[in-house]
Amino acid sequence: MKTTPVDSKAVHAKDFGNHFIWGVSSSALQTEGAHKTDQKGPSIWDAFADKGKIKSGHHHYQANEFYYRYLQDIDLIQQMGIPNFRFSLSWPRLLPDGVGSLNPKGIDFYHRVIDACLEKGIEPWVTLYHWDLPYLLEKKGGWTNREVIDWFLEYTQKAVKLFGDKVKHWMILNEPLVFTGAGYFGGVHAPGRKGLKNFLPASLHASICIAEGFRLVKDMQPKAQVGSTFSFSHLTPYSHAPNHLRACHKMDALLNRMFLEPTLGLGYPTEEIPALRKIEKYMKAGDDEKLKVPLDFIGVQVYTREVVKSSLFTPYLRSKLVPANERKVYHTKMNWEVYPKSIYEIVKKVQSYKGVNQIIVTENGASFEDELFLGRVEDLHRIHYLKQHMEELFKAKQDFHKLNGYFVWSLTDNFEWAEGYHQRFGLVYVDFETQMRFTKNSGYWYRDFLSGAGK
Ligand code: FCB
């Protein structure tokens, strides 16, 4: 199909060198559907959606039917010339009770997905946990129960034994701050729990799982590249008044440091957030050392920047974010400011830590109001977003040698957690009535960016 004209002066994938990793990302719960099919066990999101907790009563029960349409979707990746595909395994599809017996149908499904990728020359990048905890484990306390470390390691051991011969790139957890913060502190994601007493143990156990999971995968597959992904946002204080600067440091400690720093042996940022000291209550002797882990790569996920204001009424943090629409800046449908420099600033920040081996941007992308017209989606806003981010990424690549890859979020429109289907992030449009796929102009743009067409 005809494409958007390519600007020959613009940055292209080739400018990043031959070894730079280019890809596209997705996750199991957001795409697969088939939530009760073929002996899949329930996840915490099933229970959450059953209670009507998703915007407009949406749910992920069908999602975009990746479970049935994976061949078509992997074809689309090939047509766009994208060499790497990041997706996640559904823990309850493989282990319906969370632990114990494996589900042969689940095993078969992921073998088929991985084989289809490999047959088409697409490298699979597998995330072990992208937020869909088996519901039966949540009944036993979920992430707040220290036993989750054993449960997770049992699942990891089984998954790597099953797929480790074919999968050479693994990510342990996806964005621990988001699933513990939204799921165990704010109650806006599954399992909908609230408060510090849930958040702190869940966070600690998630961090231990990153470290122990890494060691286990490396023991089993020493040559595999193993990382974990973290959410980051570039932060700017509301003004240079000392109270806003202080607020900005606190927010930075929560949003950017709380999960990365313990993995690097730096402990928790308790000076900025004294309430984090309470995490010690859940720690056992030796945990400090256990948390330290030489990840092969840090998966950086960055979408926006945030402006931070002092807020005396906000417990623990005394700071809050000023939403993009209030600031009257250009933003996506998620109300996330479009601020491409954020990607540069975050790579700079992550590289500045001693002990970081490699940085791969494992998610970046944008949701806009897309319109399907005569089979086309002319998503100029998304193209613009991606182009600008590539320019900043290119600058980052020149300045920070540890940066080595970039994945767009996401392949197809999908189920955007608490936002349901209101947010479309895909390079491929999905008509959720018919489940038909239509590559958006941004998909064609990414194809041309990768091939260097027009250069
Ligand atoms: C990230 C999640 C991903 C997707 C994007 C928009 O926080 O990892 O699943 O929802 O945001």
| Ligand 1 center–CA 162 separation, angstroms | 26
Give the orientation angle of helix 66-79 with respect to helix 104-119, to 10 degrees: 10
- Point out the catalytic residue in the list 175, 272, 337, 416: 175
Using CA atoms, how far apart are residues 24 and 79, in angstroms rounded to an integer?
13
What's the token pair of residue 32? Answer: 């697969």
Q: Which residues of the chain have pLDDT under 70?
A: 1-8, 454-455
| Ligand 1 center–CA 285 separation, angstroms | 34
| Ligand 1 center–CA 130 separation, angstroms | 9
- Please report the pLDDT score of residue 1 as a whole number: 47
| Ligand 1 center–CA 9 separation, angstroms | 31
> Which of 173, 175, 300, 361 for a ligand 1 pocket mutation test, highest count of atoms within 8 Å of Cβ?
175
What pTM does this model have?
A: 0.97
- Please report the pLDDT score of residue 453 as a whole number: 86
DSSP 8-state class, residue 255: I
Which residue, judged by its Cα, is nearest atom 5 of ligand 1? 409
Angle at 406 between CA 404 and CA 264, to 5 degrees: 55
**Sequence letter at residue 372:** L
CA distances (Å), 22 to each of 133, 300, 404, in order? 29, 14, 9
Helix or strand (DSSP H, E) at 30: helix 28-31
DSSP of 44-58 = HHHHHHHTT-SGGG-
Q: Which atom of ligand 1 is nearest to the CA of 365?
A: 6
Q: Is 432 exposed, middle or buried, given 0-12, 13-18 or 19+ CB atoms closer than 10 A?
A: middle
Q: Which domains does the chain have, with CATH numbers?
A: 13-451 (3.20.20.80)
Q: Which of 87, 89, 85 is nearest to 40 (CA)?
A: 89
DSSP 8-state class, residue 164: T
**Contact 174 CB / ligand 1 (< 6 Å):** yes
263-271 LR contacts (CB < 8 Å, sep 24+): 263/207, 263/210, 263/211, 263/228, 263/291, 263/292, 263/293, 263/295, 264/292, 264/353, 264/354, 264/355, 264/356, 265/291, 265/292, 265/355, 266/353
Helix or strand (DSSP H, E) at 341: helix 341-351
| Ligand 1 center–CA 31 separation, angstroms | 12
Pair 106, 94: CB distance under 8 Å? yes
Maximum distance among all alpha carbons in the chain?
Answer: 63
Which residue, judged by its Cα, is nearest atom 9 of ligand 1? 27
CA distances (Å), 138 to each of 135, 173, 360, in order? 5, 17, 31
Using CA atoms, how far apart are residues 399 and 346, in angstroms rounded to an integer?
12
What's the token pair of residue 139? Answer: 């009944």
- Please report the pLDDT score of residue 451 as a whole number: 97
Pair 427, 85: CB distance under 8 Å? no
Q: Which atom of ligand 1 is nearest to the CA of 27?
A: 9
Q: Among this protein's residues, is 65 annotated catalytic? A: no
Give the orientation angle of helix 104-119 with respect to helix 148-163, to 10 degrees: 50
**Contact 132 CB / ligand 1 (< 6 Å):** no
**Contact 392 CB / ligand 1 (< 6 Å):** no
259 phi, psi to nearest 5 deg: -100, -30
- Point out the catalytic residue in the list 65, 345, 363, 416: 363
Q: Among this protein's residues, is 175 annotated catalytic? A: yes
